Homo-oligomer: A and B are copies of this chain.
Amino acid sequence: MNTPSSGANAAAETLSEEALDALSRAGTAAATADTAGAAAHRHEALLSSRAANIKQSAVRDVFEISMQPGLVSLAGGNPYLQSLPLDRLAKTAAAIIAEHGLEALQYGGGQGTQELREQICAVMAAEGILDADPENVVITAGSQSAQDVAAKVFCDPGDVILLEDPTYVGALNTFEAYEVDIQPVAGDEYGLIPSALQKTIAELQAAGKRIKLLYTIPNFNNPSGVMLAPERRQEIVDICREANILVLEDNPYGLLKFDGVLPEPLRAANPEDVLYLGSFSKIFAPGLRIGWALVPAHLKQRYYLASEAVTLCPPTFSQLLVSDYLRNYDWRGQISTYRTLYAERCAALLAALEEFMPAEVSWTRPEGGFFVWLTLPEGIDSYPLLYTGIDAGVVFVPGAAFSASHAPSNKLRLAFSAVPAETLREGVRRLAPVLAEAIAAR
């Protein structure tokens, strides 16, 4: 197994597409100009009304700059793949093509292979779901695609999706492409607040809104790192059931709780009321684009057919590689390795924040996942600080990226997953004066 490398290399790591996406949302105000540049083109009349909801980036140019060597990226939520046994995986990939090439390179079933669906049930058992049936698993081209299909199956324009604020930028992008009315629910350091959920539902229903889904990342929310308290979980599902709202539980980071003591997923005791999304992107390899949905039995066929209409079938070769990894490798041991690695990095990041940050800055202390969420004093917009941060040699994701409102935000996200401890410290050392200056200039 490769050992994690450290030091200079990591500084040059490029930003993940997830981060690209995240950043792309930060500057939506100035966004339409670029696309609208050809506004007079007669094809503008051909665009769907949803196309206008799919946001244009005003920050992409920044990325060209941010790729420069020497910059410390705290932006990208990339897993640390240096920790994988790449040489062995190379042999596995070769064996799959040599021995099963006619299957690996051919069209496959729209729901994914039987073997991988069974193995995914074992992964979900490790996540705390003990009764999953492979028949109700739909494998997708990454978890992003599973979100897209969920929105497709359930949401008409104007329908409401409730979600945490902040939440995963990719989900916001996906939902907005369905012209969904995205409504945040208040949370605190223990995640969504049940009474707030109840109040939001009541208000929206009183206003005549159709609420379809609650989208939630209960374990180590991206970007906040917050974990939903176990004692709130059943209450949240009960509230949704009562209001006939389906829970869309997104759990890519669940297995990465540092101490390995996992809270039960919302899905565990609620097979009928929770559509559960899982992913190999954080525990194995995002480049394979293999995610899945565990769909309530009565909704599975609808979901499956919609998924098939989007991508025909998930990547076959990728599925066989994941299957071999789950069959023949110590994937549980690899998750333990990741837990230790990410716990160390998180601790290093928190220690650096303690060491360097101005007193006015606060942050979350996650128990797992990839991210720490910083809060600046009220009234400071973190978005312009992106540019001064880059000048100082450090990149982060401004908080506005993670909110449907796109309003100015005094928050920002730091990712510790892909960066060795000493580089994390250097990044924070560079970032602190940028924030201090902004605070002083208030």
Contact = CB atoms under 8 A, between A and B. Distances in A.
Interface of A: 16-18, 20-21, 24, 34-35, 38, 41-43, 45-51, 54-57, 76, 78-79, 81-82, 84, 86-87, 89-91, 93-98, 101-110, 141-142, 144-145, 148, 152-156, 159, 170, 173-174, 176-177, 212-213, 244-246, 281, 284-289, 296, 298-299, 301-302, 305-306, 308-318, 321
| Shortest 7 CB-CB contacts between residues of A and residues of B | A287-B316, A105-B285, A94-B94, A90-B98, A86-B101, A90-B97, A90-B94
Main DSSP-derived SS at the A contact region: helix
A306 B90 contact: no
Contacts of A153: 47-48, 51, 54
A91 to B, nearest CB: 6
B90 A56 contact: no
A309 B81 CA distance: 24
B288 A315 contact: yes
B42 A244 contact: yes
A110 B309 contact: no
23 contacts: A16-B107, A20-B110, A21-B110, A35-B301, A43-B246, A47-B302, A54-B306, A86-B101, A89-B97, A89-B105, A90-B95, A93-B96, A105-B284, A107-B281, A107-B286, A108-B287, A141-B315, A144-B311, A176-B309, A288-B315, A289-B314, A310-B310, A318-B318
B154 A47 contact: yes
B144 A310 contact: yes
A285 B79 CA distance: 28
Given A51-B302, A107-B281, A289-B311, 4 more contacts: A24-B305, A47-B153, A148-B311, A288-B317
Given A45-B244, A90-B101, A309 B54 contact: yes
Nearest to A111: B17
A35 B286 CA distance: 33
A21 B45 CA distance: 33
A153 B56 CA distance: 13
A223 to B, nearest CB: 16
A159 to B, nearest CB: 7
Nearest to A244: B42
Contacts of A78: 106-107
A435 B24 CA distance: 58
A360 to B, nearest CB: 34
Contact of A84 (B24, B82, B101): B101
Contacts of A34: 301
Given A51-B306, A289-B141, A86 B98 contact: yes
A315 B318 contact: yes
Nearest to A273: B43
A173 B308 contact: yes
A420 to B, nearest CB: 14
A177 B56 contact: no
Nearest to A16: B107
Given A16-B107, A106-B286, A315 B312 contact: no
A297 to B, nearest CB: 9
A287 B106 contact: yes
A56 B305 contact: yes
B154 A311 contact: no
A20 to B, nearest CB: 7
Contact of A107 (B18, B38, B86, B103): B18
A106 B94 contact: no
Contacts of A144: 309-312
B97 A311 contact: no
Contacts of A89: 97, 101, 105
Contact of A312 (B21, B109, B311): B21
> Residue among A34, A79, A106, A318 with the most chain B CB within 10 A?
A106
A246 B434 CA distance: 48
Contact of A174 (B109, B156, B309): B309
A336 B305 CA distance: 36
Contact of A41 (B81, B159, B284, B298): B298
A174 B43 contact: no
B108 A48 contact: no
